[in-house]
Amino acid sequence: MSTEWSAGYVTDVNYTFGYYGELNPLRCRLPLLLSGWHAPKVENACELGFGQGLSVSIHAAAQPSVNWYGTDFNPSQAAFASEMVGLAGADAKLYDEAFAEFCHRADLPDFDFIGLHGIWTWISDENRAVLVDFVRRKLKPGGVLYVSYNTLPGWSATAPLRHLMKRHAEVMGAPGQGIIGRTDAALGFMDRFLALEPLYAKANPVAVERLKQIKDQDRKYLAHEYMNRDWSPMYFSDMEAWLREAKVSFGSSAFTLDNIHELNMTPAQVEFMRSAPDASLRETIRDFCVNQQFRRDYWVRGLRAVAGHEQVTTLREERVVLTTGKEELPKTVRGATGEALLLDQIYQPIFELLLDHRPHTIQELESHLGAKGVNFVQLSSALMILLGLGAIHPAGPGQDISKAKTRTTALNKAIARRSVSVGDIGTFASPVIAGGVAAPRFQQLFWMSKQNGAKTPDEWAAFVWSLLQSQGQAIIKDGATLQGDANLAELKAQAEAWGAKVLPLWTALGL
Ligand SMILES: C[S@@+](CC[C@H](N)C(=O)[O-])C[C@H]1O[C@@H](n2cnc3c(N)ncnc32)[C@H](O)[C@@H]1O
C-alpha cells in the first residue's frame, strides 16, 4: 500500500526491530582516529528514518549527555520508538514527520552526528536532495554523517532480480494480497522462472544463489528491501557527487574490517589500488576488487588529518571494553580474500588485559603490550580488527554511567516484557558501552527472572517455561517442536550456559 504521505515507500507492514551499532555516534571516534582523521565530541545527534527506533531508543537511554532527535514518517513506528524512549526515562525528541517536513523544523540544533541506515537506496532523488540540503545546513563543521547504501558493482548481477520481482508484484499483485502476499507471490514466480534456466540465470549464476538466500529472509525485511517504488544502488563516486553539496568527505568505513585492505585484496590488487593518484578512484577500485554490495561509511564535514603525534596522544585516551566472553574470543578474521590468523603474540596480551570486561584506555593497552614487544602500529591494527569483529567496543563516557544505568535498566525491562510474548527484539542496552548488546529472547527472560529475585538456572528455566506454557508456546529446536518436559530440559541447559558464560559479561556491561 502506498499512501499520500509515503512517497512510494512500503507502509502496510512495519519494519523489523534491528539494532545498528554504526548509528552510535560515540562509536565513530575510533574508526576515524585509527584511519588518521579528527573525530568529533558529540553533543547533538540525529537519526533519520529510524524504523522501529530500537537503535535510537538504546542510544538515547545509554547516552544522557547526548541530545537525540529523529524522525520516521511511519506513525506506528514513531509511536513505538517514542514509547520506548519514554519507558527508559530518556528524552529524545522523535517525530513522525517526512524528511521534507522534519528537516525544515525551526527548533533543531546543529548536529555533531547525523545517521541514516537503510534509507539512501530506497528513497527518491527528491528526498535525497532534502537530506543533502539538511546535512549542508545542520551538520556542524567537524561533524560526522553516517550513511549506508546498496553499492555497485556488487548489485550489478542481481539488480535484475529485484526488477522482475517488483514488475511481477505491480502487474500480478492484487491490493487484497497485502505486501507480504505480493512478496511471496513474486518469490514463487522467480523460483519457477529461474528453474527454466533463462540465459540471464546462466550468465549470472550468482543471481540464482541470491534468490535461494532471499527466500529464507524475514518477509517484512524483504518487502522493504525489494518492493519500494524507489531503489537505486550506487557507485561510490555517485554517492560522493551527491554529498559534495553537503561539504562532507569520506573518512572511514563504519565496518572497520573494510578499512583493512590486506584482508580484502591480494597484494597485487592493494598495490594497484594504491598506485591510483585519486582517493575516490582508489575507493572505487577497492569496491570492484571486493565486489562491494553494501557500504556503511562515516563522512566528515571538513575532514582533517590528525598529525602523527596528536593521533597517538588522542588515541591513548580512548577507552575500549571487551564485549565477547572468554569462550568466544576470536582466533581468526575473515576478509574478502579468505581467513587470517590472529597472532597470539599480539592478541593474547590484549585479551589478558581486557578480560575483566571493564573499560581500559588504549594507553593501558599500549603499556601492557609494549612490555611484550608489541608496538603501537600493531596495536592500532589489532584494534581495527577487533572492532570489526565486534569483540571490543568503545566505552561510553564514565561520568554518565549511573544516570545511563537507571535508563538502560528501565529500557531493558520494557524490552524483556515484550519478549514474554514475542521474540522480535534481540538487543539490550548497556550503559558501559553506551550502546546495544545482543540479547536473544530466552536470555532476556532469564534476566527478567533474576531481576525478580530468582537465583539459580533451574529457577530461571522454570520461570520461562511457565511463561511459555501460559501462552501455549513451545520451543522449536532444529526445526522440530519440543514436547512437554523436553522444553524444560532445553531451557535448563540454556539457563546454565547463560549463567556461566553470558551473565558475567552482562553484569560487567552494566545490564
Ligand atoms: C529500510 S527502513 C530502515 C529503518 C531503520 N533505519 C533500520 O535500519 O532499521 C527505512 C525507513 O525509512 C522510513 N522512511 C522512508 N522514507 C521516509 C521519508 N520520506 N521520511 C521519513 N521517513 C521515511 C520508513 O518508514 C522506514 O522505517
Tally of structural domains, the chain: 4
Same domain as 370, residue 266: no
Average pLDDT over residues 378-400: 93
Average pLDDT over residues 16-20: 92
Atom of ligand 1 nearest to the CA of 54: 9
The verdict on residue 196 lying in a domain is yes
pLDDT tens readout for residues 242-286: 999 999 999 999 999 999 999 999 999 999 999 999 999 999 999
Q: Report the distance separating Cα 509 and Cα 296, nearest Å.
A: 26
Same domain as 335, residue 199: no
Nearest CA to ligand 1 atom 27: 51
Has residue 179 got a pLDDT over 90? no
Residues touching ligand 1 (Cβ under 6 Å) are 7, 9, 15, 18, 20, 49-51, 71-74, 77, 98-99, 117-119, 122-123, 127, 224
Name the β-bridge partners of 144.
113, 300
Residue 309 alpha carbon to ligand 1 centre in Å: 41
The verdict on residue 32 lying in a domain is yes
Has residue 112 got a pLDDT over 60? yes
Same domain as 132, residue 9: yes
Q: Give 482-488's long-range contacts (Cβ < 8 A, gap of 24+).
A: 488/461, 488/462
Same domain as 257, residue 148: yes
Average pLDDT over residues 325-338: 93
Average pLDDT over residues 89-113: 97
Average pLDDT over residues 7-25: 81
Same domain as 372, residue 293: no
Residue with cell 546462466: 202
Average pLDDT over residues 22-34: 96
Helix and strand numbers, DSSP H then E, in the chain: 23, 16
The confidence band for 229, taking pLDDT boundaries of 50, 70 and 90, is confident
Q: SS3 letters for 277-291? A: CCHHHHHHHHHHHHC
Atom of ligand 1 nearest to the CA of 47: 6
Residue 287 alpha carbon to ligand 1 centre in Å: 26
What local confidence, expressed as pLDDT, does residue 7 receive?
66
Atom of ligand 1 nearest to the CA of 116: 6
pLDDT tens readout for residues 475-497: 888 888 888 888 999 999 999 99
Has residue 445 got a pLDDT over 80? yes
Nearest CA to ligand 1 atom 26: 51
Same domain as 373, residue 288: no
Whether residue 117 contacts residue 148, with contact meaning beta carbons closer than 8 Å, is answered with yes
Same domain as 41, residue 103: yes
- 376: number of Cβ within 10 Å: 16
Beta strands in 360-474 (DSSP E): 360-361, 392-394, 427-430, 435-438
Has residue 433 got a pLDDT over 80? yes
The verdict on residue 55 lying in a domain is yes
Residue 116 alpha carbon to ligand 1 centre in Å: 9
Residue 351 alpha carbon to ligand 1 centre in Å: 38
The confidence band for 10, taking pLDDT boundaries of 50, 70 and 90, is low
Same domain as 260, residue 111: yes
Average pLDDT over residues 110-121: 97
Counting ligand 1 atoms within 8 A of each CB, the residue from 11, 13, 72 with the most, and so the one to mutate, is: 72
The verdict on residue 414 lying in a domain is yes
pLDDT tens readout for residues 53-96: 999 999 999 999 999 999 999 999 999 999 999 999 999 999 99
Answer with the one of 343, 368, 394 that is the final residue of a domain: 394
Average pLDDT over residues 21-38: 96
The verdict on residue 310 lying in a domain is no
CA dihedral angle for residue 254, residue 259, residue 264, residue 268, rounded to 10 degrees: 150
Average pLDDT over residues 435-447: 97
**In this predicted structure, which of 18-32, 114-128, 152-166, 282-296 has the lowest mean pLDDT?**
152-166
Same domain as 388, residue 403: no
Residue 129 alpha carbon to ligand 1 centre in Å: 16
Average pLDDT over residues 20-24: 97
What local confidence, expressed as pLDDT, does residue 65 receive?
94
The confidence band for 14, taking pLDDT boundaries of 50, 70 and 90, is low
pLDDT tens readout for residues 198-213: 999 999 998 888 888 8
Atom of ligand 1 nearest to the CA of 14: 27
Residue (of 409, 407, 320) closest to 63 by Cα position: 407
Better-scored residue on pLDDT, 498 or 16: 498
Nearest CA to ligand 1 atom 14: 49
Has residue 184 got a pLDDT over 60? yes
Nearest CA to ligand 1 atom 1: 118
Atom of ligand 1 nearest to the CA of 98: 20
Same domain as 296, residue 195: no
Atom of ligand 1 nearest to the CA of 127: 19
Which pTM was predicted? Answer: 0.93
Same domain as 165, residue 285: no
Same domain as 123, residue 10: yes
The verdict on residue 440 lying in a domain is yes
Average pLDDT over residues 333-337: 94
Q: Report the distance separating Cα 61 and Cα 404, nearest Å.
A: 6
Residue 49 alpha carbon to ligand 1 centre in Å: 4
Mean pLDDT score of the chain? 93
- CATH number for the domain spanning 264: value is 3.40.50.150
Atom of ligand 1 nearest to the CA of 20: 8
Q: Report the distance separating Cα 438 and Cα 431, nearest Å.
A: 14
Residue 205 alpha carbon to ligand 1 centre in Å: 32
Residue 119 alpha carbon to ligand 1 centre in Å: 6
Residue 2 alpha carbon to ligand 1 centre in Å: 14
What local confidence, expressed as pLDDT, does residue 212 receive?
87
Answer with the one of 171, 201, 224 that is the final residue of a domain: 224
Residue 225 alpha carbon to ligand 1 centre in Å: 11
Domain extent, residue 192, equals 159-224
Answer with the one of 348, 368, 394 that is the final residue of a domain: 394
Has residue 1 got a pLDDT over 60? no
Residue (of 463, 459, 449) closest to 496 by Cα position: 459
